[in-house]
C-alpha cells in the first residue's frame, strides 16, 4: 500500500551479497525481507559470490547500497577487495554496509577501507533500515 506521494518516488535499490565460501544465508534473507518491507527494492545475490561478481551485479543493477553479509571470517580479505574493485571502476556513489560475525577489533580496518557501517548479530533490523534511509544520497521523500 503506497501513498500518492510515494508512487512518484523511486525506491532505494539495495544489493544484499554473500561473498566467499560462507554457506549460511538466513541472516541475509532476514535483512533482505526487512529492507523490502520498508519499501526498498532488494536484489539478493545468493551464496558464494566473488568480489568481482558482487561489484558487477551492483553496477548492472544500478544499486545505491551494497549490503555484505559474512560469517566465514574472511571479511578482512573479501571486503577490502570489494572496495578496491569499486574504486577501480570509479564507483564511489554506492553506500557499502556490512554485517555478520565480525570481531570488534576488525571494524576500524573495515571502516578505513570504506565500509560505512558494520552491523553485528543482534542489531535490530530497524537500525539498518534507518541507517540506509539516512545515508543514501538523493534519498526520496522520507519524513521518518
Q: What is the CATH number of the domain that holds 46?
A: 3.40.50.280
Q: Is 1 helix (H, G, I), strand (E, B) or coil?
A: coil
Read off the pLDDT of each residue in 73-99 and give the average, rounded to a whole number: 97
Distance CA 56, CA 60 (A): 6
**Alpha-helical regions (H) of 1-144:** 4-7, 26-37, 51-60, 75-88, 107-112, 125-135
pLDDT the model gives residue 144: 42
Q: Is the pLDDT of residue 16 over 90?
A: yes
- Close Cβ partners of 56 (under 8 Å, ≥ 6 residues apart): none
pLDDT in tens, 33-60: 999 999 999 999 999 999 999 999 999 9
Residue 42 within any structural domain of the chain: yes
Examine residue 88 and state whether it is found in any structural domain, yes or no.
yes
Cβ-proximal residues to 49 (8 Å cutoff; 6+ apart), any chain:
17, 18, 19, 20, 57
pLDDT band at 137 (very low <50, low <70, confident <90, very high): confident
What is the CB neighbour count within 10 angstroms for residue 69?
A: 27
Could you give the number of structural domains in the chain? 1
Q: Identify the pLDDT of residue 8.
A: 59
- Torsion sign (Cα): 115, 54, 102, 37: positive
Question: Where in the sequence is the domain holding 15, given as residue range(s)?
Answer: 10-127
Confidence (pTM): 0.89
Number of residues written out for the chain: 144
- Within a domain: residue 136? no
Residue 3 has pLDDT above 60, yes or no: no
pLDDT of residue 22: 82
Q: How confident is the model at residue 134 (pLDDT cuts 50, 70, 90)?
A: very high
Report the chain's mean pLDDT, rounded to a whole number. Answer: 91
Amino acid at each position: 500500500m503506497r501513498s500518492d506521494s510515494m508512487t512518484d518516488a523511486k525506491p532505494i535499490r539495495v544489493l544484499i551479497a554473500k561473498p566467499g565460501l560462507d554457506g549460511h544465508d538466513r541472516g541475509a534473507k532476514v535483512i533482505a525481507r526487512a529492507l523490502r518491507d520498508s519499501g526498498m527494492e532488494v536484489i539478493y545475490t545468493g551464496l558464494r559470490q566473488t568480489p568481482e561478481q558482487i561489484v558487477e551485479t551492483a553496477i548492472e543493477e544500478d544499486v545505491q547500497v551494497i549490503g555484505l553479509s559474512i560469517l566465514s571470517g574472511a571479511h578482512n580479505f573479501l571486503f577490502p577487495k570489494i572496495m578496491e574493485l569499486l574504486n577501480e571502476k570509479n564507483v564511489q556513489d554506492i553506500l557499502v554496509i556490512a554485517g555478520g560475525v565480525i570481531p570488534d577489533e576488525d571494524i576500524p580496518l573495515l571502516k578505513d577501507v570504506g565500509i560505512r557501517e558494520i552491523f553485528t548479530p543482534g542489531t535490530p533490523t530497524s537500525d539498518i533500515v534507518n541507517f540506509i534511509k539516512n545515508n543514501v544520497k538523493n534519498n526520496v521523500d522520507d519524513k521518518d
